[in-house]
Chain A
Amino acid sequence: MTASAVLVRADEAKRTRRRGGIVPPWWFAVPAVLVYAVVVLYPSIAGAGSAFTDWSGVGSARTFVGAANFKQLVHDDQALGALRNTLLLTVAIVVIQNAIGLLLALGVHTRIRSRMILRMVFFAPVVVSPVMVSFLWKFVYNPAPDSGLNAALGAVGLGGLRQDWLGNPSLALWSVAFTVIWQCAGYSMVIFLAGLEGVPAELHESAMVDGAGTVARFRHITWPLLAPAVTINVMLSTVGGLTLFTQIIAMTNGGPGYATDTLSTVLYKQAFVYGKFGYSTAIALVLAIFVAAVTFLQIGYLRSRETTV
């Protein structure tokens, strides 16, 4: 009798579980889609429309000017210089940030006791506001010989290497890049760590049994299996680099002169400093299309490199 009762209850439980598996209808997504459409899609499309006008950003006067804004962009020395800076920054950031992130990930993906603390330390800059990081680094880059980085160089006998890190037009762009890399390398590290956690330990063990050294194991096991993490990291840092804005405005405002202007800072200035909202939106449209194109090409290539176990 007791055994039968247990069997009956188990059977009921099975039926209950099956009923709970009903797939929710597609229209459950409608509220979220509506919010997204109203808050994101409509403003973006309406904004894109102003790329074909001479709107000043305040007031209602707008005149349709067709492709004039885009023609101006092709001849705008400031915008073209900013494009060059944007590309240089992006390449530097993508390569160096991800290289450092990978090294950090490999370093803290070991059995050393302090690995949890080190992970926290390396990731900490990521959660600080980019504006605060920029102001902090502005002090570090103070050109006075007794301040910040210049003081540190002096203290270790390298006074000859002191620089006007943000005031030298040839150097300012790389100073900004360094700050961005410092802040964001921890982010790459976290993603690489997640990738490393997914590499089966058995593969390493069998490779060691077969006599493979550390470098060979990295090259033939770890690196191929990290491909998804590489894809994500390269894509995120590329998009971040192409749209870099906050650190530049906070540290150099695009200066000295135009030395650190990026497309993002130029479109911002055109809108809010020059009062050329239409032209600014044209730049934004071009930048968005460019970022999308680069991202698609990049994802397409990188995905073809991914393998599965």
Chain B
Amino acid sequence: MALDRSVSRRRLLQLAGGATVATALGGALAACGGSSGTSSSGTLKVIGVGDQEPGLRKVLDSYKSAHSGFDFNLSFAPADQVQTALRTQLGGGNAPDVHVVYPGSGSAMSMVQLSKAGLLADLSSQSWTQKVPDGFKGAFQNDGKTYIFSPGSSMLGAIYNKKAFATAGVEPPTTWSELLAVCEKLKKKGIVPIALGAQTPWITQLIPYALVPGTVYAKTPDFDDKMSAGQASFADSGWVDAMNKYLELQKKGYFNDNPNGTTYEQATSMVGTGKAAMAVQVSAVLSAFRAAAPSPDDLSMFPFPATDVAADNWIPAGVVVGIAVSAKSKKSDQAKSFLEYCGQQDNLNAWAEAVSCVPLYGDAKVDAALTSFLPLLKANKAVPFMDQRWPNAEVQPTHFAVVQQLLGGKTTVQDALKKLDDAYKKSA
């Protein structure tokens, strides 16, 4: 009789299985709720990345107004996740008609990588492609053909809170020494000098990108060519100086506490509210900072100085993330027509203005916050964002990781840069 009341392994497994099914159902229901409908006939399916939203949505709405019968299904993914969901769709043959593509060659979702795999439509016959400035062609073209559209170049510098600066009685600095003095005064006033949200991976790279034009490219403009020819390396260049300066800012207490535990959103809020004085950022996210501030006019930008020689303080100016047409899209003509529309001067300007970048071509009104960058652009002292010239998709994530390790005290500058060099040498 006692035997009848024991639980056999089989029955136990049945009970466990029941719990598993319940859990799976919960997950499945959550997944169902989150999914969106598939693209219906005649609707252009577009997937962008978060910071494209202000510009891309504006131009799509404008195009829809001008073309009866046109409709679109637009969604966005956060930057760190674009490479997963979207790349999986590309690999599986389920690409949207128009989707985000990064300029140049430095990530798994970059123009060069995807065009080599035959996944992007050739846009060379579109009229706007003839107007791309020579210095930016590498970001748009592979083997002489144009594969992406982008509205222009984003400046990288310090987005700063004017009120916080006024409280500390300081002005935007133009040399490294001045920067340190400004940070010291801000700190004495109880204001965090620089907000750093290094838990968000892509944030980690921005300070080196801001410094390296001054510590490397000002003296060696062809550094990238030397790197690809094997004649230069990260560990044996001004990158060392840039990384040491990054750590100097940390050791002097000029970052918020716990940068590795702080997210981009938290850092944005700190600058917007004036708890922090500035953050090194791309101008494409200026709208997000303005949204976090009591008034949009509280914020402006200045080039982040890297050296004590003002003339050597070059700036990074990367082509902003763009869009491309899927080579396998069934609505290729419609998609290309949209990109042609994007390339018209008025629409280009509207998009560029919405994401606070300098229009790719033509003379247009530029965001007032960017005026201090324009002379450097005209003087040809701007270099593309470093990853846009890296040969494979591994260097950039390695850069993210070693910066977090440096901030966490787990590696040295030399070891970090050696890791970057090792990643650079790997095949694409």
**Residue pair B23, A273 in contact (C-beta under 8 Å):** no
**Residue pair B108, A257 in contact (C-beta under 8 Å):** no
> Interface range on chain A: under 10, 10 to 19, 20 to 34, or 35 or more?
35 or more
**Residue pair A169, B410 in contact (C-beta under 8 Å):** yes
What are 17 sample pairs from A and B whose C-beta atoms fall under 8 A apart?
Answer: A57-B87, A59-B118, A60-B118, A143-B257, A165-B261, A167-B261, A194-B16, A200-B5, A229-B12, A255-B199, A259-B404, A259-B410, A272-B84, A274-B397, A308-B6, A309-B3, A309-B6
**Residue pair B113, A56 in contact (C-beta under 8 Å):** yes
Q: A173-206 interface mask toward B, CB cutoff 8 Å, 1 = contact, 0 = none?
A: 0000000000000010011001101111111000
Q: Does B170 contact A (CB under 8 A)?
A: no
Q: In the complex, which residues of chain B have a beta carbon less than 8 angstroms from the beta carbon of A268? A: 84
Q: In the complex, which residues of chain B have a beta carbon less than 8 angstroms from the beta carbon of A195? A: 7, 12
Within 384-428 of B, Cβ neighbours of A (below 8 Å) are at: 392-394, 397, 400-402, 404-405, 407-411, 427-428
Q: Does A106 contact B (CB under 8 A)?
A: no
**Residue pair B108, A256 in contact (C-beta under 8 Å):** no
**Residue pair A274, B258 in contact (C-beta under 8 Å):** no
Complex Cα–Cα for A198 and B9 (A): 11
Q: Does B26 contact A (CB under 8 A)?
A: yes
Q: In the complex, which residues of chain A have a beta carbon less than 8 angstroms from the beta carbon of B113? A: 56, 58, 275
Complex Cα–Cα for A80 and B393 (A): 20
Given A194-B15, A229-B12, A272-B83, 6 extra CB contacts under 8 A = A59-B116, A195-B7, A256-B260, A256-B410, A257-B405, A275-B113
Complex Cα–Cα for A165 and B260 (A): 10
Q: Does A168 contact B (CB under 8 A)?
A: yes
A140 smallest CB distance to B (angstroms)? 12
Complex Cα–Cα for A218 and B16 (A): 23
A190 smallest CB distance to B (angstroms)? 6
Q: Does B212 contact A (CB under 8 A)?
A: no
Within 258-309 of A, Cβ neighbours of B (below 8 Å) are at: 258-259, 268-269, 272-277, 306, 308-309
Q: Does B77 contact A (CB under 8 A)?
A: no
Report the count of interface residues on B (CB-CB < 8 A).
Answer: 58
**Residue pair B6, A143 in contact (C-beta under 8 Å):** no
**Residue pair A232, B84 in contact (C-beta under 8 Å):** no
Residue from A228, A231, A257 within 8 A of B7 (CB atoms): A228
Complex Cα–Cα for A127 and B20 (A): 9
Q: In the complex, which residues of chain B have a beta carbon less than 8 angstroms from the beta carbon of A58? A: 87, 90-91, 113-114, 117, 119
Q: In the complex, which residues of chain B have a beta carbon less than 8 angstroms from the beta carbon of A144? A: 257-258, 266
Instruction: Write the residues of chain A forming the contact surface with B, with a CB cutoff of 8 angstroms.
Output: 54, 56-61, 126-129, 132, 141-144, 164-169, 187, 190-191, 194-195, 197-203, 225, 228-229, 231-232, 236, 252-259, 268-269, 272-277, 306, 308-309
Q: B1-30 interface mask toward A, CB cutoff 8 Å, 1 = contact, 0 = none?
A: 011011111001101100100110011001
Which residue in chain B gives the minimum CB-CB distance to A196? B7
Complex Cα–Cα for A212 and B115 (A): 76
Complex Cα–Cα for A199 and B7 (A): 8
Q: In the complex, which residues of chain B have a beta carbon less than 8 angstroms from the beta carbon of A169? A: 260, 404-405, 408-410
Q: B168-195 interface mask toward A, CB cutoff 8 Å, 1 = contact, 0 = none?
A: 0000000000000000000000000000
